[in-house]
Structure 1
Amino acid sequence: MADPFHITADEINCLIHAYFKDSGFQHSAFVLRAEGRLEHSPHYRKHVPRGELVELLSKALLFSEVEAHWKGDTMTMACTNQFKLLEHHTCSFDPKFPPPPPPEAHRPHPHPERPSTAQVAPESASVQVNGPSTESSLKRKASGPAPMDEPPKEKRAKTNGLLEAEVDTRSPSVVETRLPASTTAPAPRTPVTTVIPTEATETAMTTTVSTSAITPSDSGEQLDGAVLLLKAHKAAVFVCGWNPVHHTVLASGSKDSIVHIWDIPGPDKDGVSTTHIGSPLVCAYAAKGSDSDLTSLTWSHDGSLVAVGCYDSVLRICDSKGKAYFTHTQHDGPIFAVRFSPSGRWFLSASLDGSACIWDVREKKLHKQFHLHKKCCLDADWLSDLQFVTSGSDARIYIMDLDSPKPLRTLLGHQNEINQVKCNPSKTRLASCSDDMTGRIWNIENINPLRYMQDSHSVVLKGHTGPVSHIVWCPLTANGEHELVATSSFDGTSRIWNSVTGECLCSFDDHKKNVYALAFSPDGRHIATAGGDGCLHIYDIRAKQKRWSWSVGSTNPSIFEIEWQQSGNLNRIAMAMEKATVGVVDLTKVPELQ
C-alpha cells in the first residue's frame, strides 16, 4: 500500500517562498529562491493560493486539538486553555466551576490492564489482570490480602470497651461542615459548603468515633482512651498526613479516592482528650469507577494545600478547607508520588508512565515534564527548590535540575525496581530501597549542574530476605554519632542501620506479615512499625527494645500508613487502616513511652 502522505522539503520551501512574497518580505523571498534553487523545482511555477501556509498550519493545529481531546473526559471536555503553534498544550479548567463528570461508559481507560488495587509487579512494571492480591504485590497501597467479606481468622481483636458515638449525620448532596474549635486549632473556620459527587456525599453522611482500649504487649493491664478510631470512610484508608502548621488537622484518603480533612484537638491542660470529633470536611475532587486507589498524600509546607496521587492518573490539589484548587490529566498512568518543593513554589508528581512533572503551584500550570524512566517512576524527593531525585522500576535513580533536560547524575547499583528514595535532613546523602532486598546510601554532595555523570559508589545495606519497601532517616542524631536510617521489608522485619558504615544495629521481627509502614518519632527516640498483621509496634531506639504494641484485630487488619506528630503537648500517631478507619494513637497516655 502506498504511503497516503507525501511531503518534500522542496514543497515546504515553495510554501514559505509564497508566504514571504504575500507578506512583503521580498528580500527574504529572493534569498530563499536563490539558496534553495527553486527555479529548478517542479513546484515553483505552481499556483499557491494566498495564505496557503497559514491555512495549512491552522488545519494542523485543529488536528492537534482533536488528537489531544479525543478522550472526552472531564478535563478535556471543559478545557479552557488555547492551542498555540509553538507551545505544548496542557488541559485546564477554572476550579471555581468544575465541570460535571462524564458518563461512566465514556470514561477513558488509557491502561485497561491496570488492576483496581494499584499493584506493580516486583520485577517489572507489568500489572496483574483481575487477579487476587498477593502479599508481595501490596507495596503500592493495595487493598490487602483478604476480601472485605472473608476476614482472616488467625487472630482475635485485642480491643474492647468500645464507645460508639454517632455525630453530625448529613444526607444532601451539598454538605455544610464546620471544624470544631479547640485551644490549639487554627483560626475559627466559617462553614464551608462543598458540592461533591454522590459517592463522596454518602461517605460524609456518618462519622463514628470509637475510643478503643489498648493491650500492651508485655502486660495485661488496659489503657483506656489511648486510641481514637474515626469512621467516616466507606473503603480502605491508604494514606494520611498531619497538617505541618495547623497541628490539629489531619487528612486521610481511601481506596474510593475520597479525601477527608479532620480536626482532632489534643488533650487540654489537664490531659483530658475529647471523644467527640466532628464530621470531616470532604475534598471536592473524587474519581469515578474502579481505578481510584489513592497512592500518596502530602501537605504544602505552609499547610494551605493538600495534594493526592491517584490510580486514575489524575493529579488533584485542594485547599485546607477541601475546596478545589487544581486538577490535571497530564500523566498517562497512576501517580505514585506527590511532593511540594521546600519553598512551595513547585510541585512534583511521579507516575507509572515513567515521567516526573514539575508544576507551578501559583500559576496552576505545568512547568516541565521529564520523561526519565523506561518503565515507571515510583518515587521522588526534592534536594532543593531547583533539584530533585526520582527512582524507578528500571533500577535507576536520577538527580535532576529544573533547567536541564538530562540527569545531572545517574545512580547505578540496584538490581531491581527502586521503591523509595529519601534525602537526609541536610540534603547531603540519599537513601534508597529496592526489591533486590537491599537499601543503599549515596553521597550527593557537590553535584555539578554542568557535569553529567554516572555513579555506582554506595553503602549497601544487606540483611533483608524480602523486598525492602520503606526507608526513612532518623530526624535527629546525637553529636558525634553517625546518622541512622531504618528499613522495613516484606520479610516481616524492620532494621536500623549505621548509614556511614552500613552496619545493621538491630533487627525487629515482631510482625507476622508484610511491614507496610515505618516512622521515626520527630525527637529521634522511638521508631514505629505497622503492617499486614494489623499490629503497631513502637521501639526504643537506644535500648533496641520494643516498648509497646497495639492490634487492630483480625478482620481487615492491615495498617497501610502511619505518620508521627510531636508538637507542644501533642505526641500521637495517625494510622491509615484497611477497615475503612483512621486511627489516632495518643502516646501521652501510654506509660511505657513516657
Structure 2
Amino acid sequence: MAVAMENALRITADEVNCLIYAYLLDSGFMHAAFALKMEAQLDRSPHSSKHIPRGELVELLSKSLLYIEVESHWKGGALANDCKSGFSLLEPHICALEPPTGQTIKVTHAPTIITDPLTKQSKTSDLTVDTGPKRKESPTRTEGPAEKRVRLDPDDMDLGSSAESTKAKNTPSETNRSINIISDATKKPAPKPRTYRGPGDDTTNPKVILYLPGHRSEVFVLKFNSAKRGLLATGSKDSVVNLWNLQKPSDTPGVFASPVAPIAIDYFAKQDAGDLTSLDWSADGSLLAVGSYDSVLRICTSTGSLYFSNPQHQKGPIFATRFSKSGKWLLTASLDGTACLWDVKEKRLHRQYRSHEDCCLDVEWLSDNTFATCGADKNIFITRVDSVQPFGRLVGHGSEINQLKLNPAGTRLASCSDDKTARIWNIGGIMGDPDDIPGLTVTHNAVIILKSHTHSVSTVAWCPDPTIGPHPLLATSSFDYTACLWDSVTGECLKVFTDHKQPVYALAFSPDGSWLATGGGDGWLYVYSVADQGKRWSWYAGAEKPGVFEIDWEMSEGINRIALALECRDVAVIDVNKIPSLQTPMRRPSMNAISVT
C-alpha cells in the first residue's frame, strides 16, 4: 500500500520545471523563462507538448495551502474554527485567536489603507483584501500577448487603488466644487457587470461590427495594408496569419458586408512556440514581415506565398519587424540582444548589430538609411545602414524601453519604458554627418520627460495631424489602467483617460487625427475626441476572454473602419461611418480652448 501511494504521489523535477516555465511565461518573465527552458532542456521533456492552463502553478499552490490549513486545524477529530492567523507559502503557520499586527482578515467592500508598491504611498482601496501576497485578480483578464506583458514584478499588477486614485484626480469632487454627501439609504445599487458583446450605447446598430472568426486561439497582432485597400493581416497565438480581403461597406441602410474566407498562412514548424509578435507591410503593400516567438523571420507576399525565411535570431524570439519606407531594408529586433538588417530584394542578412547588452525590444526607422533600436539595457542607439557601430546613444530611461515611435515630421523620437515614463527626444540635430558627432550621447537633460503613469508605459503614438492645437500631440497607454494625451513640446499632460478597469494594451489615432481609440484587458474599446478629449463611443468584447490586444484604423476613399485583435479568437471590424456619434469631430483652433486636466 505504501509503495502504491508513493507511486501515486510521485512528482518529478521535470514536471515542476514545466509548471514554473508556464508560470514565468504567464507572468511576463520572458528572460527567466528562456533561461529555464535552456538550462532544464525542456525541449527534450516529454511534458513540453502538454497544455498547461494559465495560472496552473498558482492554482496548485492554493490547493496545497487549503490542505495545510485542514491539516493544521484538525484537532481531536474536528476542525478548529477559531484561528485568526492566515497562511503563507513561505512562513510556518501558528494558530492565534487574534489576527497578526497589520493583517486584515476577509475585509469586503470596506475602505482599507494599503501601500502602493510602486509609489510607496498610502492609498484608499475598496478592493477585497487577501491575507496572502497580492496576485493578479484574474489571470485571463490581466495577461496579454507575450510581447505586451509587463516586465515588472507581477505583485505590482494589483493597481486597483492606483487607478482609482488617478480617476479621483479628474472628478469634480477634487476641484472647487462642493462635495455632495449621500446617505447610504439614498445610494443607488451598483450596476451589474456587462457580460454580452456589443456597443456601449443604445443608438449604434450592433450589425456595424463585422466579426471574423478565422483563428483558433487569441489574436495578438493585426495590420491594414496601406497600399491595397481592405487587405487586413491578422496573427494569433496558434502561429497562423490570416489575410482578409474586406469588402467595401454598403451604403444601403441595413445592408452589411459578410465575412469572406481568409487566406491562411501557416509556415510554422513548432506551433507551440509560434506566438506571433509583429506584422508589418512594405510601403507598396506587396510584402508582409512576420515576427514570431519561434525566432524565425518570415516574409510573405500579399497573396500568401512565402517570399523569404531565415532563422538568424536562433537564440531568442523576434519582437519587432519594420520595413524602411523605400522597401529596400527590413529591421528585426530580438530577445537575443541583436537587431538584424535585411536586404529585402537580395533575400539575405546585410548586418547583425549587437549594440545592446540585453534583449532588443523595438526598432524604428528615422530615415531610409538611419534607424533607432531600444532594449532592456535602457539605451536607445542610432545607427546608419552603412555603419558597423551606432553613432548616437540616447540615455535617461531607468528601466526597459518598450517602444519607439517617430513623429510625422521626422524630427522627434518618442520612447516609453517600464520606468513609468515616456520621453521625447529631439533628433533633428543628430541626423547630420556622423563624422561630426562620433559616439554622441544625449542625456536626460536634453529631452522632454512625460510623467503621469504609475506603472509600465507600454505603448506610445503620435497624432497624425500636427495642426490640431499649437503643438503636436502624443498619446501613451499603461498597465496602470490609464491612457494619457500630452503636449509634446511643453510636456504637459492634457488628459488622463481612466475608463479602463484593466491594463491598456492598445492605442491608435484615426489617420486624420480626429479620434483616439484605446483597448484593454477589460474587453472595452473606447473612442475619444482628440479636440475636446471627451469619450464619444465604446464597445465591449464580451465577458469570455475579453482582452483587446491591438487596434488598427483604415481611412481611404470614403472607407473608415477600425480593426481589433481580440483574446476571444475573433477579429472585429467596426464600420465607423455608421456610428452616429463619430461623424462630427470637433476641431480646436488653439490649446487655450481646452479644459486641461
TM-score range, shorter chain: 0.5 to 0.7
| 2:448 aligned residue | 459
| Residue 280 of structure 1: aligned partner | 262
Q: Which amino acid counterpart does residue 214 of structure 1 have in structure 2?
A: P
- C-alpha distance in structure 2 between counterparts of 1:317 and 1:431, whole Å: 27
TM-score, scaled to structure 2 = 0.67
Secondary structure in 1 aligned to 2:577? Answer: helix
Query: 1:477 maps to which residue?
Result: 466
User: Could you tell me which of 102, 126, 129 is aligned with 2:32?
Assistant: 126
Amino acid at match of 1:449: P
Q: Is the 8 A contact 1:548 1:592 kept in 2?
A: yes
Please, which runs of 5 or more residues in structure 1 have no aligned partner?
1-110, 146-153, 160-212
1:143-191 deviation digits (Å, cap 9, x = unpaired): 999xxxxxxxx943333xxxxxxxxxxxxxxxxxxxxxxxxxxxxxxxx
Q: Distance in 1 between matches of 2:288 and 2:427?
A: 29
Q: Which amino acid aligns with 1:235?
A: S
Give yes or no for contact 2:549–2:567 (8 Å, CA) kept in 1: yes
Q: Which has the larger radius of gyration?
A: 1
Q: For 1:57-136, what aligned pairs fall within 5 Å after superposition? A: 121=28, 125-127=31-33, 132=55
Aligned residues of 2:248 and 2:257 also touching (Cα < 8 A): no
Q: Which SS does the other structure have where 2:581 is aligned? A: helix
Counterpart CA distance in 2 for 1:273 and 1:350 is: 44
Quote how far apart the aligned CAs of 1:291 are. 1.0
Change in 2 beyond 3 A, CA 1:158/1:119:
closer
- Candidates 485, 506, 511, aligned match of 1:496: 485
Alpha-carbon distance in structure 2 between the residues aligned to 1:363 and 1:506 = 47
Correspondence for 1:449 among 427, 430, 434: 434
Distance 1:436 1:489 in 2: 11
Residue 200 of structure 2 aligns with which residue? 215
Kept in 2, the 8 Å contact 1:116–1:293? The answer is no
Task: Tell me what 1:352 maps to.
Answer: 335
Match of 1:429 in 2: 412
Normalized per residue, which structure has more helix? 2
Shift of 1:266: 2.1
- SS at 1:406's partner residue? coil
Q: Report the Cα distance in structure 2 between the residues aligned to 1:470 and 1:117, rounded to whole angstroms.
A: 22
- 1:446 alignment partner, SS class: helix
Equivalent residue letter for 2:442: D
Q: Offset of 1:269 from its aligned partner?
A: 4.6
Q: Which residue of the partner structure matches residue 355 of structure 2?
A: 372
Give the secondary structure class of the aligned counterpart of 2:32: coil
Deviation readout 1:352-382 (Å, 9 max, x if unpaired): 0010000010110000000121110011110
CA 1:254–1:279 in 2, change beyond 3 Å: closer, same or farther?
same
From 192, 195, 203, the counterpart of 1:157 = 195
Instruction: For 1:117 and 1:306, locate their aligned partners in 2 and report how far apart those are by CA, in whole Å.
Output: 31
Cα distance in 1 for partners of 2:317, 2:410 equals 28
- 1:114 Cα shift? 6.7
Shift of 1:426: 1.4
1:17: which partner in 2? Answer: none
Q: Structure 1 503/139 Cα, relative in aligned 2: closer, same or farther at 3 Å? A: farther
Unaligned runs of 5+ in 2: 1-17, 37-51, 56-138, 155-191, 584-597
- 1:580 and 2:580 are equivalent in the alignment: no
SS at match of 1:459: strand
Rounded Cα–Cα distance in structure 2 between residues aligned with 1:340 and 1:117: 32
CA contact (8 A) 1:241 1:299 kept: yes
Q: Are 1:523 and 2:512 an aligned pair?
A: yes
Aligned equivalent of 1:257 = 239
Q: Write the letter of the residue equivalent to 2:389.
A: K
Q: Residue 429 of structure 1 contacts residue 444 of structure 1 at CA under 8 Å; is this kept in 2?
A: yes
Could you tell which deviates more after superposition, 346-355 or 135-144?
Answer: 135-144
The equivalent residue for 2:276 is: 294
Residues 513 and 141 from structure 1, CA distance in 2 versus in 1: closer, same or farther, beyond 3 angstroms? same
Distance in 1 (alpha carbons) for counterparts of 2:335 and 2:19:
14
Give matches, 1:412-427, under 5 Å. Answer: 412-427=395-410
In the TM superposition, 1:287-366 aligns within 5 A as: 287-331=269-313, 332-366=315-349
Q: CA RMSD in A?
A: 2.5
Q: Structure 2 vs 1, CA of residues 483 and 363 (structure 1 numbering), >3 Å: closer, same or farther? A: same
Deviation at 1:446, TM superposition (A): 2.9
Secondary structure of 2:568's aligned partner: coil
Distance 2:451 2:266 in 1: 44
Give the aligned residue type for 1:301. A
Distance in 1 between the 2:145 and 2:400 partners? 12
Q: Distance in 2 between matches of 1:532 and 1:295?
A: 17
Contact 2:330 2:342 in 1 (8 A): yes
Task: Say which SS state the counterpart of residue 126 (structure 1) adopts.
Answer: helix
* Structure 1 position 573, deviation (Å): 0.6
Instruction: Note closer, same or farther for the CA distance 1:234–1:455 as it changes in structure 2 (3 Å cut).
Output: same
Measured after TM superposition, the shift of residue 134 of structure 1 is 8.4
Identity of aligned residues (%): 47
1:384 is matched with which residue?
367
Q: Deviations for 1:402-429, whole angstroms, at most 9, x for unmatched residues?
A: 1222211111100000000111111110
Cα distance per residue 1:535-558 (max 9 Å; x no partner):
000000111100000001110000
Deviation of the 1:137 alpha carbon? 6.4
Distance 1:272 1:224 in 2: 11
